[in-house]
Amino acid sequence: MNTLKVFVTENILPFVEMPGQYTGGEWNSIVKKHADIDVKVVLAFPDTYSIGMSHLGVQILYGLLNERSNALCERVFTPLEDMEFLMRKHKVPLFSLETYTPLKEFDIVGFSLQYELSYTNVLNMLDLSGIPVMVCERSEADPLVIAGGPAAIAPEPLADFIDVFLIGDGEESLPQLVDLFRDLKRKNLSRREKIASIAQTLNNAYAPSLYKVSYHQDNTIHEIRPKISGLPSVIRAASVKDLNETYYPTSPIVPYVKTIHDRITIEVMRGCTQGCRFCQAGMSKRPTRPRTVENILRIAELCYANTGHNEISLASLSISDYPVLKRLMERMNLVFSPRHVNISFPSLRVNEQLVVLPSMLNTVRKSGITLAPEAATPTLRKIINKNITDEDLYNGTEEAFKQGWNLVKLYFMIGLPTETDEDIDAIVKLAYNVSDLKKGIRGSFGEVNISIAPFVPKAHTPFQWQPMISLQRMKEIRNRLYDRIRRKCIHVKFHNPERSILEGIFARGDRRLGSVIYRAWQDGCKFDAWEEHFDFQKWLNAFEDVGIDWAFYAHRQRGEDEVFPWEHINCGVVKPFLIKEKQRSLNKEITSDCRMDECPDCGSCERSVSYCVV
């Protein structure tokens, strides 16, 4: 009998909120005997169970590794404060859900980096596990600490804490790492030798400790170069070439407790070529790779049979761009409408097709339809390469109100390059116009939820050279919007400006920021993405304590010749293309979708050729 499980069950779980998030044993979870396995992996999601179990990537990698006879994969999430307090009080190490095995006993601990504000949680989970937080302090007995996910394409702020980053699509890179690690274990190599061999063998693996960074006197980077021979000067992101041939979890884990997204999620297409200049995923996940209608239907049928969920979300960066969306929805509705299964989309792109989408969504629950205009004026839309019109937006929302929707959710960014007060006021006007549409159809104003997020320049995008606006300007815009929106059925939610600043710092940061993260964590920072936990003053103190000027990372205009902290990471798009797009933005020029127009020579198709045949 597992003595740790007995102790936790009897002495800790009765005293914490929602203990079901720490028990494991969910429907479709997988338990293997450790003694029979060559490589033992634990997926560590640096946020709560309810958020992590809503993330499709966790389900994919979990199922993929557990299909293999030579590996096992278990899960762990960041414990909430009440659980952490009792674990530390009783000296209980952080453990996996499947077998209550301490993380220190796994071969590989793999973190999923979905957003920059989870970084202190990474340190806290390592500390709770008894694994040294710093790479340089780990011994031969410690597991290999790896990380992947969207934030891993700008990895330097976590360079002091992660042994190996896997860049790009995990379905490609993680199984390769597991096979290689199994061979390295048999050779009885040292920890450093294993890390070096991984970095030398896998072209998508980056070991920061094996690279030296030098700086100019102005604090910009002079050079990033390998310390030993055989290492690549550029690490190339892994990219799945054909989604129809890659693994997909048709028996996803069904949580026993409430999660953020309690539904089946099916990725119908990966990548986007619309070319929004602020969008990191749209740039780094190119080219587009759709699933066939038949494959989507097969996955949907199996997931429904194996879970019993009554909602299926069809996910993509731009679902409207799926080549045969109408045919897909006709087939999905034919199969699932009689079963009263809800079919939902994530946020919809505003284009001429928007007017027909509400009728495609023959949903059981019509709670709200989500649109992401991002900017409210034609000029600003040209700046960000969002080739949309108010007419298409109004036609689409009018049709949604006719089809029975009562709520429209609109997403905007503020602080975009060249933005003026007129651009901000246009958000208000657009929201009122959308609300007015329902009155002409059903006699009352439509409910509109506006979500406002400060623009955060990201690595590997045409806006990676741009500064963020000041904290004061963010607050001025927030107050301006609150003052001008007076209709009770129009609600404004403004993202925390201080959190946006911190996100911007780490999104384009270098490895010197590791000392700030470490200091902030020591001072109690964790769950920084949560309003009730975030303490900006502690972060300001951390920057001051280690002598780093945070404005250098957030508010500085960068030159085209500057060497970036992610210069050695290749996600497909090449720097000349990004510079060209930056210039086209300044000239207010739209770059067409390459699926409909000429190739812009972005570079991504050289790493992965895919055809939109469905």
CATH code for the domain of 172: 3.40.50.280
Residues 120 and 268 in one domain: no
Residues 59 and 128 in one domain: yes
Omega before 249 cis (within 30°)? no
Q: Which residue has the tokens 């050729």?
A: 609
Residue 126: phi and psi, rounded to 5, are: -60, -45
- Residue 607 pLDDT class (50, 70, 90 cuts): very low
Residue 291: phi and psi, rounded to 5, are: -85, 155
- Residue 350 pLDDT class (50, 70, 90 cuts): confident
CA dist 146 and 228 (Å) reads: 20
Mean local confidence (pLDDT), 482-492: 95
Residue 591 tokens, joined: 């770059």
Q: Where are the beta strands (DSSP E) in 167-219?
A: 205-206, 211-215
Residues 273 and 154 in one domain: no
State the pLDDT at residue 600: 86
CA dist 112 and 93 (Å) reads: 20
| pLDDT above 80 (res 364) | no
| Cβ 185 vs Cβ 107: under 8 Å | yes
What percentage of the chain reaches a pLDDT higher than 70? 97
| Domain limits for position 172 | 3-236
State the pLDDT at residue 362: 58
CA dist 450 and 493 (Å) reads: 6
Mean local confidence (pLDDT), 394-414: 90
State the pLDDT at residue 245: 95
- Asked if residue 517 belongs to a domain, the reply is no
State the pLDDT at residue 1: 57
CA dist 444 and 442 (Å) reads: 6
| pLDDT above 90 (res 440) | no
CA dist 320 and 347 (Å) reads: 9
Counting the structural domains of the chain, the total is: 2
pLDDT digits (tens, 9 = 90+) for 88-147: 999 999 999 999 999 999 999 999 999 999 999 999 999 999 999 999 999 999 999 999
Mean local confidence (pLDDT), 522-542: 97
| pLDDT above 90 (res 609) | no
State the pLDDT at residue 352: 66
- Asked if residue 538 belongs to a domain, the reply is no
- Asked if residue 502 belongs to a domain, the reply is no
Q: How far apart are the first and last CA of the chain?
A: 51
CA dist 356 and 375 (Å) reads: 23
CA dist 163 and 407 (Å) reads: 46
Q: Cβ of 380: how many Cβ atoms within 10 Å? A: 23
| pLDDT above 90 (res 360) | no
- Asked if residue 529 belongs to a domain, the reply is no
Q: Which residue has the tokens 């207010």?
A: 588
Q: Which of 236, 256, 286 is the last residue of a domain?
A: 236
CA dist 502 and 117 (Å) reads: 8
Residue 601: phi and psi, rounded to 5, are: 60, 50
Provide the CATH number for the domain around residue 342. Answer: 3.80.30.20
Residues 200 and 286 in one domain: no
| Cβ 461 vs Cβ 279: under 8 Å | yes
| Cβ 283 vs Cβ 600: under 8 Å | no
Find the length of the chain: 614
- Asked if residue 305 belongs to a domain, the reply is yes
Q: Cβ of 486: how many Cβ atoms within 10 Å? A: 9
- Asked if residue 133 belongs to a domain, the reply is yes
Estimate the share of the chain in helix, then strand, then coil, as percent rounded to the nearest 5: 40, 15, 45
Q: Which of 220, 236, 252 is the last residue of a domain?
A: 236
| pLDDT above 80 (res 408) | yes
State the pLDDT at residue 611: 31
| pLDDT above 70 (res 612) | no
Mean local confidence (pLDDT), 551-580: 96
Decide: residue 233, CB within 10 A, 0-12 exposed, 13-18 middle, 19+ buried: exposed
Q: How far from the centroid of its chain's Cα atoms is residue 378's Cα? A: 29
DSSP structure class, residue 352: G
Residues 226 and 297 in one domain: no
DSSP structure class, residue 258: -
State the Cα torsion 149-150-151-155 to the nearest 10°: 70
CA dist 92 and 611 (Å) reads: 51
Q: Cβ of 259: how many Cβ atoms within 10 Å? A: 18
CA dist 135 and 112 (Å) reads: 18
Mean local confidence (pLDDT), 405-431: 96
Residues 283 and 229 in one domain: no
CA dist 162 and 155 (Å) reads: 9
- Asked if residue 76 belongs to a domain, the reply is yes
Q: Which of 191, 216, 236 is the last residue of a domain?
A: 236
Residues 352 and 454 in one domain: yes
What percentage of the chain reaches a pLDDT higher than 90? 86
Residues 232 and 271 in one domain: no
The H or E element that residue 108 is part of is: strand 108-112
Handedness of CA 41, 46, 50, 54 (dihedral sign): negative
- pTM comes to 0.95
- Asked if residue 244 belongs to a domain, the reply is no
CA dist 540 and 433 (Å) reads: 41
Mean local confidence (pLDDT), 1-15: 93
Residue 533 tokens, joined: 């936990």
State the pLDDT at residue 608: 44
Residues 40 and 149 in one domain: yes
State the pLDDT at residue 367: 67
pLDDT digits (tens, 9 = 90+) for 204-232: 999 999 999 999 999 999 999 999 999 99
Residues 198 and 334 in one domain: no
State the pLDDT at residue 385: 96
Q: Which three-class secondary structure state does DSSP give residue 144?
A: strand
| Cβ 73 vs Cβ 43: under 8 Å | yes
Residues 191 and 335 in one domain: no
Amino acid sitting at position 453: A
Average pLDDT of the chain is 94
Residues 226 and 279 in one domain: no
- Residue by residue, DSSP assigns 286-335 as -S-EEPPHHHHHHHHHHHHHHH--SEEEEE-TTGGG-TTHHHHHHHHHHH
Q: Which three-class secondary structure state does DSSP give residue 455?
A: coil
State the pLDDT at residue 365: 55
